Structure 1
């Protein structure tokens, strides 16, 4: 989070749009692949890991989808948000995740994008709940969960990245 956080004006929810992942999204992944943006996720990825993730997002196989977060009216891509199918405690659920570039953090962008992705998950109609697992140390993402309508279930251990356990908060919301 940069020094301007909290001093910039909030963004109206109507000025945030999510758009399906596109071929030019690799640049957005690169811009978000910084120590600051990935400190709660195990650190920056290699160029090869980013390219694989980008291809996965483009393949769009299976339930769920990744999106670019676009700030209007300029059309600036400022982050990523998505949902995917996961198994949690023996039941199929959706899991959601997001990342917003530092220059727009703290302005309501992530909350607006997460609400839109929850609507997309509900429209898919496959699962009844969406879960999010931000690190217990990630105050900003935990706040996004609360403001977007998730309910805190409690702390748990999750594997992210693969082979690495982190202490996370389990947040859950029911879909209509």
Structure 2
């Protein structure tokens, strides 16, 4: 498995967020954002852990290179309080298992909070790579659903669920 770790999102990660804002990386999540939107997102990421609602992380390789992002945040889904997970990996680092490593690490952080039973991920039905990450990380596919992302835009997504109270099973 790939070697990487996660670190809380930092003020210095703005360049990474700009790189992740490419048409290729954002094709399943509504397309690239404006620079103003990226700056606002970066500010939210930097201060997100302070809210107690979740945390955004940078995916860091052993040599210190920043390869992507992963995070979890509180949301209500079907009348339950859950965590939603999301991630992105720069094109040069895809296909190496980094997203799975990052998701498993973020799940460990969310699991340690002991305040939600389930975590969910909602990758587009047309995104085989992100759906594979869910499978490898131990999520259970509940089926397709309509999902609003970005705000105001509906997409067809797979609803993946993971029981945070069960022992980790991802690989």
| TM-score interval, smaller chain | over 0.9
1:94-133 equivalences in 2 (<5 Å) = 94-133=83-122
Partner residue of 2:60?
70
Q: Which residue of 1 aligns with 2:128?
A: 139
Match of 1:21 in 2: 9
Residue 86 of structure 1 and its aligned partner are, at CA, apart by 0.6
Q: Which of 16, 22, 41 pairs up with 1:53?
A: 41
1:33-48 alignment to 2 at 5 Å?
A: 33-48=21-36
Q: Find the partner of 1:162 among 140, 143, 151.
A: 151
In the alignment, does 2:75 pair up with 1:86?
Answer: yes
Q: What is the deviation of 1:62?
A: 2.7
The two structures have a TM-score, normalised by structure 2, of: 0.93
Work out the CA distance in 2 between the residues paired with 1:25 and 1:126.
Answer: 28
State the TM-score, normalized to the length of structure 1.
0.91
User: What value does the CA root-mean-square deviation take over the aligned residues?
Assistant: 0.8
Q: Distance in 2 between matches of 1:115 and 1:127?
A: 16
Q: How many residues align?
A: 163
Q: Deviations over 1:27-49 (max 9, x none)?
A: 11001111100000110000000
Cα shift at 1:25: 1.2
How far 1:104 moved relative to its partner? 1.1
Mapped to 2, the partners of 1:119 and 1:172 lie a distance apart of 15
Moved over 6 A (4+): none
Distance in 1, matches of 2:163 and 2:80, equals: 14
Describe the superposition over 1:15-74 as per-residue Cα deviations: whole angstroms up to 9, x where unpaired: 2100001001111100111110000011000000001111111112132100000011x1
Q: Which secondary structure state, in structure 2, belongs to the residue aligned with residue 36 of structure 1?
A: coil
CA distance in structure 2 between the partners assigned to 1:162 and 1:45 by the alignment: 12
